[in-house]
Amino acid sequence: MKLISLLVAVTAVPALLTAYVYLAERLISGKRQKQPTAGGGARPWLWLAPAFVLLATFLVYPIINTIILSFRDARATNFVGLANYVHVFTDSGMLVVLRNNAAWLIFFTVGTLGFGLLMAILSDKVKWEPVAKAAIFIPMAISFVAAGVIWRFMFEYRPAGEVQIGTINAALTALNPQFEPMAFLFDTRTNNVALIAVGIWMWTGFAMVILSAGLKGIPTELIEASRIDGASELQIFFRVILPLAAPTIAVVATTLMVNVLKIFDIVYVMTNGSLGTEVIANRMYKELFNYRNFGRASAIAVVLLVAVAPVMVINIKRFRESRKSHG
């Protein structure tokens, strides 16, 4: 049964779309003279229609609706003004959520960029570059849920004196017999750091791949010339490579920021937001499914939108610039 509907979906959708375009073409050319390259007319709109129906139904309309809902009460019936937003920025639980997202934003972005840059630079200098890159990149191919399982196992904790089966506690006790094993995911001093580390582990490969492509675009003569002029490797890095790679770093940083602001899966699988690890997306999920409060859930989502808005503006600006330079 499932397989049949799968087959229907994968054959019917392309077939219908193909038929649709040919049908539209017949309708248009039946009315007017055929002028394929001429501007205007209904053709562009007919071609865009499938995409726009999907975008309007599942993105544009819901975004507007969510913004409206954020000014309504839990059941979306009465207008409550800014009450939901007041809650978002004053409730003590929400303040922890906002603090955590700020921590994720800073440490995740800096950590991922740092390790990504380090790997991009170092791997470029060895012959086994593809192998090194694959090792770092693999986590990018797996789900956050699988990564969550992998790292719960790494952080696994047994009381002192018992055999530690979690790699990190085992390694630390082996290095220092005085070390008191820690429940990294439950200890409020370490749990957020532990979660962010998982995020960095997953995304470093992404940063590395893009930064590496950017670095390879820097002309080698430039680096050789500074080397001949007697610049040290560190000077070359800070004075030559870093400024030239800055645009690429900016692209990676903005992408990382957009993705970290809506981080959900890692927290959901590893702690489910307990013990002060909740982030915006998890809080929204709880408001929606546990407390059934549509107003608050919407307000939290709108905060998320406001947080990514600067990145959207940057993307549009960058796109316009590249348009101008490419004609």
Partner 1 sequence: MAERKRKLDLRRSLARTALNIVLVGMCAAWMVPTVGLLISSLRPKELIALSGWWEAFRTPLRFTLENYVNVLSRANMGTSFLNSLMIAIPGTLIPICVAAYAAYTFAWMEFKGKEGLYLIVVALIAVPIQLTLIPVLTLFNRLGLTGSFIAVWLAHAAYGLPFSIYLLRNFIGQLPRSMLESAFIDGASHPTVFFRLVLPTSLPAIASLGIFQFMWVWNDLLVALIYLGGTPDVAPMTVTMANMVNSYGGGWEYLTAAAFVSMALPLVVFFALQKYFVRGILAGSVKE
Tell me whether residue 192 or residue 280 sits nearer to partner 1 (CB atom).
Answer: 280
CA distances from 272 to 89, 99, 278 (A): 21, 17, 7
Number of residues that bind partner 1 (CB under 8 A): 116
Contacts (CB under 8 A) with partner 1, residues 186-245: 201, 204, 206, 209-210, 213-214
Q: x/- binding map, residues 74-113, to partner 1, per CB under 8 A?
A: ----------------------------------------
* End-to-end Cα, the chain, rounded Å: 51
Amino acid at 96: V
Tell me whether residue 167 or residue 180 sits nearer to partner 1 (CB atom).
Answer: 167
The single residue among 92, 178, 220, 322 that binds partner 1, judged by CB under 8 A, is 322
Which helix (H) or strand (E) element contains residue 317?
Answer: helix 294-326
Q: Interface with partner 1 by CB under 8 A: which range of 90-98, 103-111, 135-143, 224-232?
A: 135-143
Query: What's the closest the beta carbon of residue 10 comes to partner 1, in angstroms?
Result: 6
Alpha-carbon span 273 to 35, nearest angstrom: 59
The single residue among 79, 89, 153, 238 that binds partner 1, judged by CB under 8 A, is 153
The single residue among 84, 100, 164, 192 that binds partner 1, judged by CB under 8 A, is 164
Tell me whether residue 21 or residue 96 sits nearer to partner 1 (CB atom).
Answer: 21
Residue 305: exposure state from Cβ atoms within 10 A (0-12, 13-18, ≥19): middle
Q: Interface with partner 1 by CB under 8 A: which range of 77-85, 97-105, 220-228, 267-275?
A: 267-275
Contacts (CB under 8 A) with partner 1, residues 284-313: 284-285, 288, 294, 297-298, 300-302, 304-305, 308, 311-312
> Given CA atoms 145, 148, 150, 153 in this order, what sign does their dihedral have?
negative
Q: Interface with partner 1 by CB under 8 A: which range of 83-91, 97-105, 151-159, 188-196?
A: 151-159
Residue 79: strand pairing partners: 72
Please provide residue 219's backbone torsions phi and psi, each rounded to the nearest 5 degrees: -60, 130
Q: How many residues does the chain have?
A: 327
Alpha-carbon span 64 to 214, nearest angstrom: 37
Q: Interface with partner 1 by CB under 8 A: which range of 13-21, 77-85, 88-96, 175-183?
A: 13-21
Alpha-carbon span 38 to 52, nearest angstrom: 22
Check binding of 14 to partner 1 (CB under 8 A): yes
Check binding of 132 to partner 1 (CB under 8 A): yes
User: Which residue has tokens 């375009």?
Assistant: 21
Say if CB 139 and CB 147 are below 8 A apart: yes
Contacts (CB under 8 A) with partner 1, residues 38-77: 39-41, 43-45, 47-48, 50-52, 54-55, 57-63, 65-66, 69
Say if CB 88 and CB 303 are below 8 A apart: yes
Please provide residue 59's backbone torsions phi and psi, each rounded to the nearest 5 degrees: -125, -60
Check binding of 115 to partner 1 (CB under 8 A): yes
Query: What's the closest the beta carbon of residue 155 comes to partner 1, in angstroms?
Result: 10
